A and B are shown apart, each in its own frame.
Chain A
Amino acid sequence: KAGVTQTPRYLIKTRGQQVTLSCSPISGHRSVSWYQQTPGQGLQFLFEYFSETQRNKGNFPGRFSGRQFSNSRSEMNVSTLELGDSALYLCASSYQGTDTQYFGPGTRLTVL
């Protein structure tokens, strides 16, 4: 069974631009969660989607948004990028959302 895939793996953007990251969950999984990982803050929860509905949201500004499609694939969007948005963005999938989380390899975003 294929694992969680994330595209692209690396991104370099400049301040003010926007970016869209993609996550394809394990086949059959209905929940996708997104996390931001930085050396200073560790792993911070962004949001969770379950069957196309946002079920949970972390404490991030409205510049961070996401969505989930009917095939469970998810995208997150960050608008008006700031230097502090540079991070490893991880997505995780699971069948129910409360069970074992399977993580993708992440997207490394660098904002210049």
Chain B
Amino acid sequence: KQEVTQIPAALSVPEGENLVLNCSFTDSAIYNLQWFRQDPGKGLTSLLLIQSSQREQTSGRLNASLDKSSGRSTLYIAASQPGDSATYLCAVRRGGNEKLTFGTGTRLTIIP
């Protein structure tokens, strides 16, 4: 059974700093991994999707990496802004016809 862990559960950093969010998964045989953000009381917004054959994906100030052998993915946010404050979730798909398994998320607060 795939288990996905995100540590820490909460993180506060001053505006302008670069930061890294972590995602660990127990079964390295994954199909793809996706990062989302969720604002309070809202739905999820897709940030980046990494296929199992890829090592990283970039979108603007965001960079996600994937290391299947160690069961880890990181989301790097450059030059953080108050608008980046949200809960960040990673989700892993083990096989092409299998469900997404979500981590519990990291609540990020950017301090102006």
Query: Which residues of A are at the interface with B, using a C-beta cutoff of 8 A?
Result: 4, 33, 35, 42-43, 45, 48, 55-56, 58, 88, 90, 92, 97-106, 108
From B6, which residue of chain A is reached at the shortest CB distance?
A42
Main secondary structure of the interface of A (DSSP, over half): strand
Given A45-B100, A56-B98, A102 and B32 contact (CB-CB distance below 8 Å): no
In contact, A101 and B102 (Cβ under 8 angstroms)? no
* Contacts between the two chains (Cβ within 8 Å), count: 51
**Number of contacting residues on B, CB 8 A?**
24
From residue A92, how far is it (CB to closest CB) to chain B in Å?
A: 7
A residues less than 8 Å from B36 (CB atoms): 103
Among the stretches B19-27, B42-50, B72-80, the one at the interface with A is: B42-50
B residues less than 8 Å from A33 (CB atoms): 99-100
In contact, B43 and A55 (Cβ under 8 angstroms)? no
Contact of A102 among B41, B46, B91, B105 (CB under 8 A): B46
In contact, B99 and A100 (Cβ under 8 angstroms)? no
Query: Which residues of B are at the interface with A, using a C-beta cutoff of 8 A?
Result: 31-32, 34, 36, 41-46, 49, 89, 91, 93, 96-105
In contact, A98 and B96 (Cβ under 8 angstroms)? yes
Q: In the docked arrangement, what's the CA distance between A104 and B43, Å?
A: 6
Given A42-B102, A42-B105, A55 and B49 contact (CB-CB distance below 8 Å): no
From B97, which residue of chain A is reached at the shortest CB distance?
A55
From residue B53, how far is it (CB to closest CB) to chain A in Å?
A: 13
From residue A44, how far is it (CB to closest CB) to chain B in Å?
A: 8
